[in-house]
Amino acid sequence: MSKNEDHRKMRTKEYLKIALITLMREKNVHNITVKDLCTQAQINRATFYAHYIDMDDFLQQIIEEMVSGVVQSMTDGHKDLSILLKDGQAYKCYYRLFRYLRDNAELFQLMLGENGLPKLFVMLNQQGIELFTDLLRPMMPKFEKMVPLDVLTYHIFSAHAGLLRYYLDSNMKYSPEYMAEQLTLLSFSGPMSIMNLLDHKAAP
């Protein structure tokens, strides 16, 4: 594929994504047709079908791109996920993540909202669980008698996912920088420790 063809493909996909956002402001994604999408994007149907099999294929690719964008923004292509266990590096990861959500906020808000697709949330959960499982597995021999890997993974990921959802639901009330600082603080210290709520002298 030539550079010009590649640019045209990217431009077409961007037009269709913008059209999807516009249409989802008014109707459920399941009620949007290829004709609706092409009319809104001002492209012909032949162009659409040159890139997608049908509407389901288009939506599947949109979801996959969103999930991939979340993972890529946080890991920045690093294969060594242990960077998330170093506070200086973790802050950078979380900052990129919140910035990505901010830059794509309306699409995430719509797709996770009542007019969107629950499948996005399911896929985000799957990717998040896999990521944190891979991150924590190497160190679990030291702690597996205290807490199972799956329990720890779900606990940590659910806290992250909840904060990301809050960020979107609050319409990005805080800056990506501030949210990255807060998530780093909570991740490395824990909310109950930060607030001095734990009584370490209490009997079990």
Percent of the chain with pLDDT over 90: 65
Task: Note the pLDDT of residue 2.
Answer: 60
Report whether 115 contacts 178 (CB < 8 A).
no
Here the CATH number for the domain that contains residue 11 is 1.10.10.60
DSSP 106-152: HHHHHHHSTTS-HHHHHHHHHHHHHHHHHHHGGGGGGTTTTS-HHHH
**Token output for 48:** 């659409």
Residue 191: pLDDT band with limits 50, 70, 90: low
140 and 81, same structural domain?
A: yes
Cα–Cα distance for residue pair 20/186, rounded to 1 Å: 36
143 and 167 in a single domain? The answer is yes
**pLDDT tens-digit series, residues 42-52:** 999 999 999 99
User: 140-158: string of b/e by CB count within 10 Å (b at 16+)?
Assistant: beeeeeeeeeeebbbebbe
Instruction: Say if residue 2 is in the same domain as residue 102.
Output: no
pLDDT at 5: 65
- Give the integer Cα–Cα distance in Å for 86 and 102: 24
What is the count of structural domains for the chain?
2
Do residue 38 and residue 119 come from a single domain? no
Torsion angle, alpha carbons of 91, 132, 165, 52, to 10: 110
Question: What DSSP state is assigned to residue 200?
Answer: T
Q: Are 19 and 86 contained in the same domain?
A: no
- Above 60 in pLDDT, residue 195? no
Does the residue 196 lie in any domain? no
pLDDT at 73: 92
| C-alpha angle 178-193-188 in degrees, rounded to nearest 5 | 50
In this structure, the answer to whether residues 142 and 172 fall within a common structural domain is yes
Q: 204 in a domain, yes or no?
A: no
The answer to whether the beta carbons of residues 58 and 144 sit under 8 Å apart is no
8-17, 18-27, 191-200: range with lowest mean pLDDT: 191-200
Same domain for 73 and 154, yes or no, is yes
The angle formed by the CA atoms of residues 85, 151 and 144, to the nearest 5 degrees, is 70
The predicted pLDDT at position 203 comes to 41
Whether residue 114 sits in one domain with residue 16: no
| Residue where a domain terminates, one of 37, 52, 67 | 52
Co-location of 101 and 19 in the same domain: no
Q: Which domain holds residue 29?
A: 1-52
Determine the Cα–Cα distance for residues 77 and 137; give it in Å rounded to an integer: 20
Indicate the residue among 10, 31, 52 that finishes a domain.
Answer: 52
**Alpha-carbon span 25 to 61, nearest angstrom:** 20
pLDDT in tens, 141-188: 877 788 889 998 999 899 999 999 999 999 999 999 999 999 999 888
Q: Which pLDDT belongs to residue 190? A: 76
d(CA 71, CA 31): 29
Kindly tell me if the per-residue pLDDT of 202 is higher than 50.
no
Residues 183 and 93 placed together within one structural domain of the fold: yes
Using a pLDDT cut of 70, give the percent of the chain over it. Answer: 91
**In-domain check, residue 88:** yes
Same domain, 3 and 101: no
Does one domain contain both 176 and 109?
Answer: yes
Burial of 10 (0-12, 13-18, 19+ CB in 10 A): exposed
Instruction: Give pLDDT tens digits for 78-120.
Output: 777 788 888 778 899 999 999 999 999 999 999 999 999 999 9
* Local structure of residue 43 (DSSP, 8 states): -
Q: Indicate whether 203 belongs to any domain.
A: no
Please report whether residue 200 resides in a domain.
no
Give the number of other CB atoms < 10 A from CB of residue 53: 10
